[in-house]
Amino acid sequence: MGNSRCVNTRFFIAIVITGLIFFSPGKVHAQSPFAGLENLFTMPANYIVHYTKTAPVIDGDINDDVWKQAAWTNDFQDIEGNSKPRPSLKTKTKMLWDDSCIYIAAQIEEPQVWAYLQKHDEIIYHDNDFEVFISPRNSTQQYYELEFNALNTVLDLFMDKPYRDGGNPVINWDAKGLRSAVKIQGTLNNPDDTDKGWTVEIAIPIKAISTSNKMRAPQEGTLWRINFSRVEWDTKVVGSKYVKLTDTNGYTRPEHNWVWSAQGVIDMHFPERWGYLQFTKKDDPNVTFTMPYAEQQKQYLWLIYYREQMWYRKNGEYALTLKDLGISDSVAIDNKNNALKLEATAHQFMGFITDAQDKITHTINNEGLVRDLNHREHE
């Protein structure tokens, strides 16, 4: 769901076109191994989420004392990043957590607040909406999506893997115990006045987004991946209703997609592009985020993945060697030597990166599954 509609082919066409311009095996990578794919390798946003001893009351009011201990994110930007104009309306979020839930508050500037969908699990982005994408496993597989409109109508779904890799949304999945509330700063569905916007307050039980019956609560320094999206439609007033604008051919104009952490592509279902959420119980506003070494290593696995997908769409099969992809078999990360390896057939592949000193190996396959071969998989 989200803005996955009709974008997968679009994405890979864009990547292939980019590749045709910038990608020449054995030549372009003298400058940078990421040349031509820079939009997919910008640094994701990060947020230190602090522990709260008092849970916020979920009533849509995000001005109470509990929320004063949480910092706001930066204002949302266009989904493609800084190469696009800044959104015309502001959106920002803040987060807290305790042993049972993660709490999210969002402030959405909107001069004309409207919403019509009222049935649970309708496709909420057909209205203006606020969306949460969350991966407690810090993985591109087994993640969750939540959508909310100004009526507090909710769509919640589970994804086994992204659409680009053959994933299917499980819409009948429900986030058990999810609580949310909306408060409108103005009036809903009234074109005759000007509103300030709306706020949404959300409590997501950690148990509800665990992929087994055993809840694994965050610990000090635990990393999740998360992103937020706002879908905004251009409308006009017809009678007393808001109607989406159409182009000269009568088709509905594309929606605006505004996000916290830039995806670099018009698709929220690139979980490797989501922001980093780091948990802390320290009562210290100066706790900072540092990109883990393993996350830096995985950037080279994603380089293999993207190059292989480009190659497949051009040639109908995967490349068999790193040389075909113009990727070196060794790379220095934080002054540490790493070896890259590719095992491939025409129809599948697996990429490897191994630190020469600690011998820890991370892998990626043709479905975008990233794994650590040296440690037991956790929740």
| pLDDT tens sequence across 266-286 | 999 999 999 999 999 999 888
Shared domain check, 35 and 51: no
Q: How confident is the prediction for the chain on average, in pLDDT?
A: 91
Of 249, 280, 311, which one is at a domain's C-terminal end?
280
Give the per-residue pLDDT at 23: 40
Question: Are 78 and 32 contained in the same domain?
Answer: no
Position 249 scores a pLDDT of 95
C-alpha 157/C-alpha 1 separation (Å) is: 8
Helix (H, G, I), strand (E, B) or coil at 221: coil
CATH number for the domain spanning 90: value is: 2.60.40.1190
Q: Please spell the DSSP secondary structure of 46-90, one letter per residue.
A: EEEEEE-SSPPP-SS---SGGGGGSPPPPPPEETT-TTSPPPSS-
6 & 92 share domain: no
Q: What integer pLDDT is reported at residue 20 of this predicted model? A: 38
- Segment 195-220 shows an average pLDDT of 90
What per-residue confidence (pLDDT) applies to 218? 94
pLDDT value of residue 9? 42
- Alpha carbons 173 and 159: distance in angstroms, whole number: 10
For the segment 231-238, the average pLDDT, to the nearest whole number, is 97
- Span 185-195, mean pLDDT? 97
Determine what percent of the chain is predicted with pLDDT higher than 90.
85
User: Looking at residues 46-71, what average pLDDT do you find?
Assistant: 97
For the chain, what is the radius of gyration of the CA atoms?
Answer: 22
Taking residues 42-52, report their average pLDDT: 97
- pLDDT of residue 231 exceeding 60, the answer is yes
Say if CB 168 and CB 147 are below 8 A apart.
Answer: no
Q: Are residues 378 and 322 in the same domain?
A: yes
Give me the mean pLDDT over the 280-304 stretch. Answer: 95
Instruction: Indicate the pLDDT class of residue 216, thresholds 50, 70 and 90.
Output: confident
Q: What angle do CA 175, 179, 185 make, to 5 degrees?
A: 135
Q: How far apart are CA 203 and CA 96, in angstroms?
A: 10
Confidence of residue 136 (pLDDT cuts 50, 70, 90): very high
pLDDT at 27 over 90: no
E strand or H helix at 132, and its extent? Answer: strand 129-135
> Which pLDDT value is given to residue 357?
92
For the cut 70, the answer to whether the pLDDT of residue 63 exceeds it is: yes
- pLDDT exceeds cutoff 90 at 299: yes
Q: 36 in a domain, yes or no?
A: yes
Domain membership flag for residue 33:
yes
Q: Quick one: 214 and 334 in the same domain?
A: no
pLDDT band at 214 (very low <50, low <70, confident <90, very high): low
Instruction: With a cut of 90, say whether residue 22 has pLDDT above it.
Output: no
Where does the pLDDT of residue 374 fall: very low under 50, low under 70, confident under 90, or very high at 90 and above? confident
Among the residue ranges 112-126, 139-153, 214-228, the one predicted with the least confidence is 214-228
Would you state the pLDDT for residue 213?
63
Are residues 177 and 191 part of one domain?
yes
Does the pLDDT at position 6 exceed 70? no
Residue 285 located in a structural domain: no
Together in a domain, 129 and 271: yes
Sign, CA torsion 88/200/379/2: negative
Q: Is the pLDDT of residue 352 over 70?
A: yes
- Of 280, 303, 336, which marks where a domain is finished? 280
pLDDT of residue 4 exceeding 80, the answer is: no
Do 305 and 364 fall within a single domain? yes
Whole-number pLDDT of residue 7? 44
**Side-chain-facing half-sphere of 217: CA atoms under 13 Å:** 10
Is the pLDDT higher at 158 or at 8? 158
- Residue 323 amino acid letter: K
Q: What is the reported pTM?
A: 0.92
pLDDT of 235 over the 90 cut? yes
- Indicate whether 140 and 217 sit together in one domain: yes
- Say whether both 185 and 53 belong to one domain: yes
* Residues 51 and 29 grouped into a single domain: no
CA–CA separation, 346 vs 311, rounded Å?
11
- Of residues 33 and 214, more confidently modeled: 33
List the domain range (segments joined by +) for residue 182.
46-280
Q: Rounded to an integer, what distance in angstroms lies between the CA atom of residue 361 and that of residue 257?
A: 36
What pLDDT is stored for residue 193 in this prediction?
95
Please count the structural domains in the chain: 2
Given 280, 301, 316, which residue is the final one in a domain? 280
